[in-house]
A and B are shown apart, each in its own frame.
Chain A
Amino acid sequence: MAANVQFDLVSPERKLTSVLVEQVQIPGADGDLTAMAGHEPTILSLRPGLLTATGPGVEEQYVVTGGFAELSADTISVLAELALPRGEMSQEVVTDLLKQATKAHEEAHPDEHHMTQKFLADLVHIAEDLGFHTNL
């Protein structure tokens, strides 16, 4: 039986969850990462993706679009720019996000194109994974 770890997910507008879990799968900017108890203290930034917290009797999934996570031996805090429980995702939200990201990409400075491009691609990927249309 794995040791439990305190998991907090907060967005600027609200605190989404605070539970004891066994592991959290985090979409890191450099790739997915599964954090468990006793993790080396780490700060990593997020890419748009699905965050999955699995614990004794709980399995929660959230869609996050960016922000960062602070990992330590006994706590995992995710500070997401925008976070929604998977169940609250809707086509409307997806369309909105995609529109914003597309606009940001078009307006971005050429130096930042690769960043906005990646953000958009990640967003499309997660939206398709969840079964939403991505054609605007």
Chain B
Amino acid sequence: MPNLKDLKNRIASVKSTRKITKAMQMVSAAKLRRAQDAAEASRPYAERFNAVLGALSASVGGSDTAPRLLAGTGKDDVQLLVVMTSEKGLCGGFNTNIVRLARLRIAELKAQGKTVKIITVGKKGREQLKRDYSDLFVEHFDLSDVKKLGYVHAQNIAKGLLARFDSLEYDVATIFYSKFQNVVTQVPTAQQIIPAAYEASEDAGGALYDYEPSEEAILADLLPRGVATQIFAALLENAASEQGARMSAMDNATRNAGDMIDQLTIQYNRSRQAVITNELIEIISGAEAL
């Protein structure tokens, strides 16, 4: 049986752990609100953008002159996976879930005999994939000193992807991130971004538009922006998911710490009583011996 002093120290340490997890939970609750607001604010742009691109690609996409970003290279031999995870841990299964989805895809593609290349965004996913797939890494984007996610960060990543596409380094690019549903549910998602898969809007009024300059020129101008827009949306979803996951993970941790403190306190009280009883027995038996 551990002695009283040890137990007391143990209780104190669990209590301070609980304070930390509680504080982290509150911080991520505040950050989550901000992340959700940012995701909300980016939605009108993304929706409009996709609608216009949908209409455009429906009218131009079928032709032979369609840009390569839309039509693809005609092959799918070299697959680029962009795995987006967080820079910090302590967020439950958030990173692991994204990485698991990516691993499944890698195994699947390898079984089909395709070449796989990996770009990582965020340190945590890189660490998890490093053990098995470090030979497939081609680039890493570090967002650890980013305070507030901006469109420029997405543009940066998109620029890298597009440059590699132009130099024919891959045929298909897929991004892996976590979609935010609510605080307890984040859905790991794989989304193909190159070649672009835009759905035509229902009111197929695209053909009625005048284009200035030409349809092709606008499409060529917009497609690269579309890549950045999709990456930006994914980064924002990821940020919200990360905070949501951290919040629920820290909530659990706080509750577990509370349970542990209760248990330890009972143990402490029992030992204390045992010690007192022991002392009494010693005194009484000493007195009786006289």
A binds B: yes
Show the binding face of A for B, using Cβ within 8 Å: 8, 10-15, 28-30, 33, 40-45, 67-68, 70, 77, 79, 81-82
**Residues on A with beta carbons closer than 8 Å to the beta carbon of B217:** 45
**Residue from B41, B45, B209 in contact with A79 in the complex, judged by beta carbons closer than 8 Å:** B45
Show the binding face of B for A, using Cβ within 8 Å: 38, 41-42, 44-46, 48-49, 52, 56, 150-151, 154, 205, 208-213, 217-218, 221-222, 225, 228-229, 232
**Residue contact B212 to A43, C-beta cutoff 8 Å:** yes
Main secondary structure of the interface of A (DSSP, over half): strand
What's the least CB distance linking A64 to chain B, in Å?
Answer: 13
**Residues on A with beta carbons closer than 8 Å to the beta carbon of B42:** 12-14
**Residues on B with beta carbons closer than 8 Å to the beta carbon of A15:** 41, 44-45
Closest to A115 in B: B221
**Residue from A13, A41, A44, A67 in contact with B208 in the complex, judged by beta carbons closer than 8 Å:** A41
**Residues on B with beta carbons closer than 8 Å to the beta carbon of A68:** 52, 218, 221-222
Interface centre among B49, B211, B212, B229 (most CB of A within 10 A): B212
A14 to B38, CA, bound (A): 8
**Residue contact B209 to A77, C-beta cutoff 8 Å:** no
**Residues on B with beta carbons closer than 8 Å to the beta carbon of A81:** 151, 225
What's the least CB distance linking B72 to chain A, in Å?
Answer: 21
23 contacts between A and B (CB under 8 A): A8-B44, A11-B151, A12-B46, A12-B151, A12-B154, A12-B228, A12-B232, A41-B205, A41-B208, A42-B210, A42-B211, A42-B212, A43-B52, A43-B56, A43-B209, A43-B212, A45-B213, A45-B217, A68-B52, A70-B48, A79-B48, A79-B52, A82-B151
User: A41-B205, A43-B52 in contact; A11/B45 too (CB < 8 A)?
Assistant: yes
**Residues on B with beta carbons closer than 8 Å to the beta carbon of A28:** 212
